[in-house]
Amino acid sequence: MIDSYLYIIIALLPLVSLMLVFQVNPYHALVIRAILGAIAALVYGVLGAPDVALTEALVGTLLAVALYIVSVRSSLVMRLGILVGDKGDVLEEIIPHLRKSIDKYHLRLDLVEYPHLEALESALMTKDIHATCIPSTQTSSESDRPYNLAIRVRRLFEILQEQLTSPATKLTYIALPNTEEKH
């Protein structure tokens, strides 16, 4: 006869699974995935399958979550290229606005410094970075926007176009030749 506590533990499996499916924050989803694996391992252990419980604990929980952490951590980043001399100005004016805009999508901002403009533009074209932020050199009517933010990823451009509230930044989408975006 199965004890009543086992029904409660087994009922947690679909409940935690639903929580995992509807989780928006990828970091919270990782924690819930680990909890789901631990509950499954517990159920297998209580039902008399210690070998399956051990396999679930090691592979299904520890290894899977470790791999998910690596993939989530490396994929949820916006790499912004800046010039070495502009770091102080860019950080003070634009970076807080950028972080606020991309935090809603659980992205983190990674600043990559380049020594000169040619290296910065080359990095954008070779897809080493997602966007560049350089001082605007235009003397036309857009001189009230001292920085030009050029973005090569369409979805990032759409997010920032909608969310970025900094009046100091002009957004530009750069369509790279012969590219199929898979971001």
Where residue 32 falls among pLDDT bands split at 50, 70, 90? very high
| 125 torsion bin: left (phi>0), alpha (psi -120 to 50), beta (else) | alpha
Q: For the chain, give every domain's residue range.
A: 4-59, 76-173
- d(CA 52, CA 33) in angstroms, rounded, equals 18
- Say if residue 41 is exposed, middle or buried (CB neighbours under 10 Å; 0-12, 13-18, 19+): buried
pLDDT in tens, 36-82: 999 999 999 988 999 999 999 999 888 988 888 888 877 788 899 98
**Domain made up of 76-173: CATH architecture:** 3-Layer(aba) Sandwich (3.40)
Beta strand 147-151 pairing with 131-135: antiparallel
